[in-house]
Chains A and B, each alone.
Chain A
Amino acid sequence: MIEKNVIEELLGIAVSTGADFAELFAQKERSGQLRFISGKIESVRDHQLSGVGIRAFVGAKTFYASTSDTSRQGLLRCAAAVAGAVGDGVGASRCMNLNPEAVTEDKILNYPNDVEAKRKADILREAADAAIHLDEKIVQVQGTFLDVDRRFLVANTEGLCREDRKIRTRISISAVASDGHENQSGFFGPGAGQGIEFFEKRSPRSVGERAARQALTNLSAVYCPAGTMTVAIENGFGGVIFHEACGHSLEATAVGIGASQMAGKLGQQIANPKVTAIDDGTIAGGWGSFSIDDEGNPAQRNVLIENGILKSYMVDRLGSRRMGVPMTGNSRRENYTYEPTSRMTNTFIANGPDKNEDIIASMEYGLYAKAMGGGSVNPLTGEFNFAVTEGYLVRNGKICEPVRGASLIGTGSQILQDIDMVGQNMATGQGMCGSSSGSVPTDVGQPLIRVAKITVGGRS
């Protein structure tokens, strides 16, 4: 992407004024997006992202500059901006000879860029048509087909020089059902770290139908009652509860500066013993997987919580400096305009000891959250929220009528103790996670779980 000697020159400039470490991240990313609405492919996005970010450290202080101008002049300006920001010291450190390694890449059968846009459009139409034709109450269907071909090079003054290529494909359908008075919506958006072969196992039709069914269910639903109750949360995207309630609080981004409810709790029992939670960036074809992270470290499988005991944080290079612990292969950024920081990859609660049928049967009264939307958290206090996009009331161990408009809120430390049943149908769901280094693809996951009590935000 950039010549070895040029990278060495740039890193040399970046450490010339007193920095003890410098890193260069060069990215080229081709992405495409088709949008469908009102029965038609409405627009095409076809974008080439291209640029470089250079970062220097002085202890735990960071200095970062980025540019889309990758001409020699532009790169030199970028390196000089970093050196200028570091100060007017004299460089004691220097750039070691770089040792470029072979490009790492997943096995992709069908690269999106090699596939005609028409074929992608056909896949999107098939999904959207399935939603439109499911029921006459479906009045609007929107869809997107997204593919990303992300290539980057990362090199640093310790001699690391690695390149990676990552393919991602995703389809999403959003359906609106109407009875003439009210509108309700449904959404489904599966994706993977795969090429077009992703659709061999995931039929576009099933995606459209699932979104449309959810919209129809919500149209027949009554408003969810408000209050504290027992809640069973289904597998797949239900795992967003762990992502928000606990995951962000285990990132060095928050832990490293002491702004996390989980700081200083390694080795402590922070969750119910039935809870084992894992962040695994190595899952083949995973939406949140990669070969190397955005600092060049190989992806890892990190057990975060084992039988309720906190085992590990997720740590990037800056976090490692701040916390004095090793890096864990979790450094990520949306693109070169962001400094990387510690982020989740594919994060999930592992299968537990309880049978799924026993979980529902155990509930006298409560909420069964079949599908979840996104959420957010304040890592400092652990206060989190997330939305239920398809829910049902449970009475006497039976799933009853659908309810809508619910959200779940609580604090991470409390909810982890209150997860008192963990089922056995672990599955993941795909999302985009936003944080200080931008929006990155992450998988969330879990089996069906029961939370003994949680505040359900509905209408009283």
Chain B
Amino acid sequence: MNFSEMKEILFGEAKKAGLTDYDVYFRMASDASAEALNRELSSCTSGTTGGISFRCAVNGCIGSASTQCLEKQELIELVPRAIANTGVIDADETPIFFEGSGKDAYRKVTVTASELPQASTLRHAALQLQEQLYAASEMMTDGTSSGAGAANISVSLANSKGLDLSHSAGMSYTYAEAIVNDGKEPSFGFAFAPGVDTDGDLAQKATAEALARLGAGSVKTGSYDVIFSAKQVRTLLSAFSGIFSGKNAMLGLSLLAGKEGQKVASDLLTVVDDPFYAENTMQMPFDAEGVATKEKNLIENGVLQTLLYDLTYAKKAGKESTGNAARGSIADPVSISPYCLRIAPGSDSPDTLREKMGNGLYITELKGLHAGSNAVTGDFSIESAGFWVENGKLTTPVHSFTVAGNFFDLLKAIDGVANNVEMGMPSVSGTAAPDVLIRGISVAGA
């Protein structure tokens, strides 16, 4: 059954039940991957998952029900299930089903989805990378893995107000994880790249990282200047992305509440929410309520410009929706989420930024942020690893220490932003960031 057939069944049932406000959200995802391990192909996977959700409003309450079983009888049952669920919701404001932003408001994405690569292409890439990894160092050892994969997603949204939108996006990637052992200890390095060709320096990058980490020393407890690598700035940005939610702000779960128009960060920081970031293949022209998406500055030169809103919380806050309604899966209710959250590049090269710091730590790894960071309070205390920077130059590796602080203080303590903006794995809600210098952060070590 295709989307319009499913929509017809659900809309028909909705009308029969006397509903006037409802929507149908459909998502189909397909993926394929190949992985190699210890010089051999180790696994090949592929998958196709579809699902549909029906939402409706009864007496001012939204109910919903969803299923992955796309048979007619199952679809028919979705409608009474959703109606029954409205009965336990505490009525809030009248739910909003959106007419649409107007035909011309939906911007064209710059990258369109293509067919998934052939399984043989993925295998070849995984094995090529494996060869490159083992060729890159004699210290390469068991557990060294590599892989290639791709995923496509298509979403469709239609509602009782006549909205009918569809969009597809795709991504592909290769990765290499090097495990080296110098006879004393193992060490690892990881690198990934978009696309499935293996002509680049992915294996070399992963190997260089693993080798550089060998023989890591300890850090004495104290206060240090640090540079977070681009990858770790992304990690932090992602862990604290909830602070930009207009809903969280209204509910007392974000300390950015009421600060629109105020200075919340260093002049050097500009944070952009960008559904159309050119480096991200997973672009999104409309949100989970059908509102057209747009690029906007959240923080501009340190000043908070806007929070993110869906229709409901925009109305409550007396604002316009920013097109940031999201659904984590077809089963999830509408929430608020950024698209590609990116930090605008600064003027310094990464080398210049290290020179600017002089002495301190270059943090290349942050682990366990799901536990070690709290977006409500801003507090974090995170296991870290990286390198000493002495007189502006990277020297020896260090590990087994924590960096601790408060994210809101950190934003103000930024003293340098490099120009090396790096995009993470393509994703509808990805991140992109450069190296960032922070003065005076608490470190716990040996």
Within 8 A of B (CB), among A70-113: 70-71, 81, 84-85
Chain B residues closer than 8 Å to A121, beta-carbon distance: 88
Q: How large is the interface on B (under 10, 10 to 19, 20 to 34, 35 or more residues)?
A: 35 or more
In the complex, residue of chain A having the shortest beta-carbon distance to the beta carbon of B42: A61
Determine if B332 and A45 form an interchain contact, defined as CB atoms under 8 angstroms apart.
yes
* Assembled-state Cα–Cα distance A66/B42 (Å): 17
Given known contacts A68-B50, A404-B379, A45 and B331 CB-to-CB distance under 8 angstroms: yes
Chain B residues closer than 8 Å to A456, beta-carbon distance: 444
A267 CB–B CB distance under 8 Å: no
A65 CB–B CB distance under 8 Å: yes
Chain A residues closer than 8 Å to B68, beta-carbon distance: 48-51, 68
Determine if A455 and B333 form an interchain contact, defined as CB atoms under 8 angstroms apart.
no
Determine if A455 and B143 form an interchain contact, defined as CB atoms under 8 angstroms apart.
no
Within 8 A of B (CB), among A355-396: 373-376, 378, 380-381, 383-387
Chain B residues closer than 8 Å to A61, beta-carbon distance: 40-43
Among A373, A411, A459, the residue within 8 A (CB) of B371 is A373
Interface flags, A100-140, vs B, CB<8A=1, else 0: 00000000000000000110110000000000000000011
A38 CB–B CB distance under 8 Å: yes
Chain B residues closer than 8 Å to A48, beta-carbon distance: 66-69, 74
Determine if A66 and B47 form an interchain contact, defined as CB atoms under 8 angstroms apart.
yes
Q: Which of B145, B185, B223, B367 gathers the greatest number of chain A CB atoms within 10 Å? A: B367
Nearest CB on A from B413, distance (A): 14
B141 CB–A CB distance under 8 Å: yes
Determine if B221 and A227 form an interchain contact, defined as CB atoms under 8 angstroms apart.
yes
Determine if B46 and A68 form an interchain contact, defined as CB atoms under 8 angstroms apart.
no
Determine if B371 and A375 form an interchain contact, defined as CB atoms under 8 angstroms apart.
yes
Among A53, A71, A457, the residue within 8 A (CB) of B383 is A457
Q: Tally inter-chain residue pairs, CB-CB below 8 A.
A: 248
Q: How large is the interface on A (under 10, 10 to 19, 20 to 34, 35 or more residues)?
A: 35 or more
Among A44, A47, A407, the residue within 8 A (CB) of B372 is A407
* Assembled-state Cα–Cα distance A64/B46 (Å): 6
Q: Which of A62, A142, A254, A259 gathers the greatest number of chain B CB atoms within 10 Å? A: A259
* Assembled-state Cα–Cα distance A85/B41 (Å): 11
Nearest CB on B from A368, distance (A): 17
Given known contacts A41-B89, A85-B119, A140-B253, A455 and B401 CB-to-CB distance under 8 angstroms: yes
B79 CB–A CB distance under 8 Å: no
In the complex, residue of chain A having the shortest beta-carbon distance to the beta carbon of B47: A66
B65 CB–A CB distance under 8 Å: yes
Chain B residues closer than 8 Å to A50, beta-carbon distance: 67-69
B234 CB–A CB distance under 8 Å: no
Q: Which of A155-163, A177-185, A190-198 contacts B (4 or more CB under 8 A)?
A: A177-185
Among B70, B90, B402, the residue within 8 A (CB) of A69 is B70
Chain A residues closer than 8 Å to B41, beta-carbon distance: 61
A342 CB–B CB distance under 8 Å: no
Determine if A64 and B179 form an interchain contact, defined as CB atoms under 8 angstroms apart.
no
In the complex, residue of chain A having the shortest beta-carbon distance to the beta carbon of B141: A258
Chain B residues closer than 8 Å to A42, beta-carbon distance: 89-90, 92, 333
* Assembled-state Cα–Cα distance A374/B377 (Å): 17
Determine if B221 and A385 form an interchain contact, defined as CB atoms under 8 angstroms apart.
no
Determine if B186 and A381 form an interchain contact, defined as CB atoms under 8 angstroms apart.
yes
Chain A residues closer than 8 Å to B188, beta-carbon distance: 378, 380-381
Determine if A337 and B399 form an interchain contact, defined as CB atoms under 8 angstroms apart.
no
In the complex, residue of chain A having the shortest beta-carbon distance to the beta carbon of B45: A64
Within 8 A of A (CB), among B145-198: 145, 179, 185-188
In the complex, residue of chain A having the shortest beta-carbon distance to the beta carbon of B86: A44
Nearest CB on B from A379, distance (A): 9
Within 8 A of B (CB), among A326-347: 337, 339
Within 8 A of B (CB), among A175-230: 176, 178, 182-185, 223-224, 226-228
* Assembled-state Cα–Cα distance A65/B45 (Å): 5
* Assembled-state Cα–Cα distance A139/B81 (Å): 33
In the complex, residue of chain A having the shortest beta-carbon distance to the beta carbon of B254: A183
Nearest CB on A from B13, distance (A): 16
Chain B residues closer than 8 Å to A140, beta-carbon distance: 251-253
Chain B residues closer than 8 Å to A455, beta-carbon distance: 400-402, 444-446
In the complex, residue of chain B having the shortest beta-carbon distance to the beta carbon of A185: B376
* Assembled-state Cα–Cα distance A355/B84 (Å): 53
Q: Main SS of the interface on chain A?
A: strand
* Assembled-state Cα–Cα distance A118/B61 (Å): 14
* Assembled-state Cα–Cα distance A328/B42 (Å): 22
A63 CB–B CB distance under 8 Å: yes
* Assembled-state Cα–Cα distance A53/B367 (Å): 32
Within 8 A of B (CB), among A417-460: 455-460
Chain A residues closer than 8 Å to B221, beta-carbon distance: 226-228, 460
B374 CB–A CB distance under 8 Å: yes
Chain A residues closer than 8 Å to B338, beta-carbon distance: none
Interface flags, B364-400, vs A, CB<8A=1, else 0: 0001101110101101111101000000000000011
Determine if B371 and A118 form an interchain contact, defined as CB atoms under 8 angstroms apart.
no
Nearest CB on A from B177, distance (A): 9
Determine if A44 and B63 form an interchain contact, defined as CB atoms under 8 angstroms apart.
yes
A9 CB–B CB distance under 8 Å: no
Nearest CB on A from B146, distance (A): 13
A265 CB–B CB distance under 8 Å: no
* Assembled-state Cα–Cα distance A69/B62 (Å): 28
Q: Which of B48, B92, B222 gathers the greatest number of chain A CB atoms within 10 Å? A: B48
Determine if A185 and B444 form an interchain contact, defined as CB atoms under 8 angstroms apart.
no
Determine if A409 and B400 form an interchain contact, defined as CB atoms under 8 angstroms apart.
yes
In the complex, residue of chain B having the shortest beta-carbon distance to the beta carbon of A64: B45
Determine if A383 and B400 form an interchain contact, defined as CB atoms under 8 angstroms apart.
yes
Determine if B47 and A67 form an interchain contact, defined as CB atoms under 8 angstroms apart.
yes
Chain B residues closer than 8 Å to A40, beta-carbon distance: 89-90, 92
Given known contacts A62-B42, A185-B377, A411-B400, A459 and B405 CB-to-CB distance under 8 angstroms: yes
* Assembled-state Cα–Cα distance A176/B71 (Å): 43
In the complex, residue of chain B having the shortest beta-carbon distance to the beta carbon of A29: B68
A34 CB–B CB distance under 8 Å: yes
Chain A residues closer than 8 Å to B403, beta-carbon distance: 457
Determine if A67 and B65 form an interchain contact, defined as CB atoms under 8 angstroms apart.
no
Within 8 A of A (CB), among B393-446: 399-405, 442-446
Determine if A457 and B402 form an interchain contact, defined as CB atoms under 8 angstroms apart.
yes
Among B40, B49, B81, B401, the residue within 8 A (CB) of A46 is B81
Chain A residues closer than 8 Å to B119, beta-carbon distance: 84-85
In the complex, residue of chain B having the shortest beta-carbon distance to the beta carbon of A121: B88
* Assembled-state Cα–Cα distance A131/B188 (Å): 45
Determine if A385 and B382 form an interchain contact, defined as CB atoms under 8 angstroms apart.
yes
Among A34, A53, A385, the residue within 8 A (CB) of B402 is A385
Chain A residues closer than 8 Å to B64, beta-carbon distance: 43-46
Chain B residues closer than 8 Å to A273, beta-carbon distance: none
B136 CB–A CB distance under 8 Å: no
Determine if B251 and A226 form an interchain contact, defined as CB atoms under 8 angstroms apart.
no
Nearest CB on B from A345, distance (A): 21
21 A-B pairs with CB atoms under 8 Å apart are A40-B89, A46-B81, A48-B74, A68-B49, A81-B46, A140-B251, A176-B376, A183-B376, A185-B377, A226-B404, A259-B143, A259-B179, A259-B186, A375-B372, A383-B399, A410-B400, A411-B400, A457-B382, A457-B401, A458-B402, A458-B404
Extra contacts, 5 of them, besides A387-B372, A459-B405 (Cβ < 8 A), are A42-B333, A50-B68, A62-B42, A223-B404, A407-B372
Closest 4 CB pairs of A and B: A457-B402, A259-B143, A226-B444, A258-B142
